Amino acid sequence: MLKNIFMAVFIIFFATACDASTKKDADKKIERLTDEQIYEMMKKFAEVFEVMREAYVEEVDERKALEAAMHGMLSSLDPHSSFLAAEDLKEFREKAHGEFGGLGIQITSDKGAIRVISPIDGTPADRAGIKAGDFITHIDGEQVGGMTLSEAVKRMKGKPGTKVKLTIMQSRGAPKTIELTRAIIKVDSVKAEMREDVAYIRISDFGARTVRDLEAAIKRLNKGKTKPTGFVLDMRNNPGGYLSAAINVADMFLDGGEIVSTRGRAKDDIDRTFAKPGDKTKGLPIVVLINHGSASASEIVAGALQDNKRAIVMGTKSFGKGSVQQQMPLGDGTAIHLTIARYYTPSGRSIQSKGIEPDVEVLQSRVEVIESRRDIFSEATLRGALDKDNKDKDEDESDRIRLGEKNDYQLIRALDMVRAMSRMPGKGKHND
């Protein structure tokens, strides 16, 4: 019996055991095991499993215990490596295709705690005011300490219409408990519209339909009555997604040059990707908006446009998730999600743990108007001044804050930057 258990476990674990032994630790020397030592460790694992299933106080769910062991081994490498059970793999694929159930929140493991990468636009988590960087301390009153990431995700998911309580710790203030109603999360990753003379494009994640939807949006904006003088690409709180989608999105704004390189464990394991000729935005000025909730694929796009001098990056420093995960199916409906490489920007900057630094730092702020147009002193306010020739009606003060700009200081700054750039010599021309 022991031999059969050992052989089954050995076949599953051997390929990743070597990877686990190569995890770099700044304070500890990596111990490399011989094949004989690995065999003995696997034998010990099988003995522990056998004792547990026979002597534990309650009957053991053997499959669940083995899957937890595999997940524990992989998650010890980094927060993004994991074992995906059949149910987890199904949920991952549903999410990748743009529709899934839950709260609409991207989370990660941070030193044993559960931390929010970002809420997804228009979801229950977003509407409840959950922000990037928040910590989740309790789910339905139960502490998350000791929960795996997948366990926390499962606790938050459920039948649409049902409720769940989350206790949130934010950077300021005391912890607060909020009740959210679960819903079917439909991810429309691309939203685009004209903001007066500037094309505004919001990408909330990089899914299976992102590239197609973005290309259609750019075509529609370019063919509208008002021709854009430039573009704002908003990737704030974008947690990432497919590497291929990030590459294709960056390619739409470039006419050449490197987009990203991935570098694996071996020194010569470097893969570089380059843009093809054909800038969909016709060389118009671009401002990219990022913040601390911008991660992974969104950082690749921002870094590519920044290093190729194609865009001004504004906002705040990004999240710094610069590692590549590959999904490796095991043939039985389960899979391994394993970190295999790191991302580097065209100039050779590592994104991992460093993030993308904006060219112009703009902290999200509340803007208070402290003067009105009636108070502004000018020639026109002098008694007896000559009337102006242009009799056009004065600009309505409400124009400046329409289309959701009122409370979004970063977006206001980005739109103003594009307008300023479009007035520079050689910029702002739209060639049909």
The secondary structure of residue 314, as a DSSP letter, is E
Structural contact between residues 308 and 338, judged by C-beta atoms closer than 8 angstroms: no
Residues 6+ apart with CB under 8 A from 420: none
321 is catalytic: yes
Determine which one of 251, 307, 318, 422 is catalytic. 307
* Chain-centroid distance, C-alpha 205: 6
- H or E segment at 14? helix 2-21
Determine which one of 118, 121, 294, 321 is catalytic. 321
Residues 6+ apart with CB under 8 A from 299: 240, 290, 318, 319, 320, 321, 322, 343, 351, 355, 356
| Distance between CA atoms of residues 302 and 356, nearest Å | 7
244 is catalytic: no
| Distance between CA atoms of residues 270 and 258, nearest Å | 13
307 is catalytic: yes
* Chain-centroid distance, C-alpha 422: 29
Structural contact between residues 315 and 361, judged by C-beta atoms closer than 8 angstroms: yes
| Distance between CA atoms of residues 342 and 176, nearest Å | 36
Determine which one of 75, 150, 294, 296 is catalytic. 296
Residue listed under structure tokens 């990743």: 16
What does the angle CA 51 – CA 57 – CA 62 come to, to the nearest 5 degrees?
A: 55
What the block records as the tokens of 329 is: 């199916």
- H or E segment at 75? helix 62-75
Question: What beta strand segments (E) does 196-285 contain?
Answer: 198-203, 231-234, 258-263, 270-274
Structural contact between residues 219 and 196, judged by C-beta atoms closer than 8 angstroms: no
What the block records as the tokens of 396 is: 């309505």
Question: What beta strand segments (E) does 76-189 contain?
Answer: 82-84, 99-102, 105-110, 113-119, 135-139, 142-143, 163-169, 176-181, 183-186
Count, residues in the chain:
432
Catalytic residues: 296, 307, 321
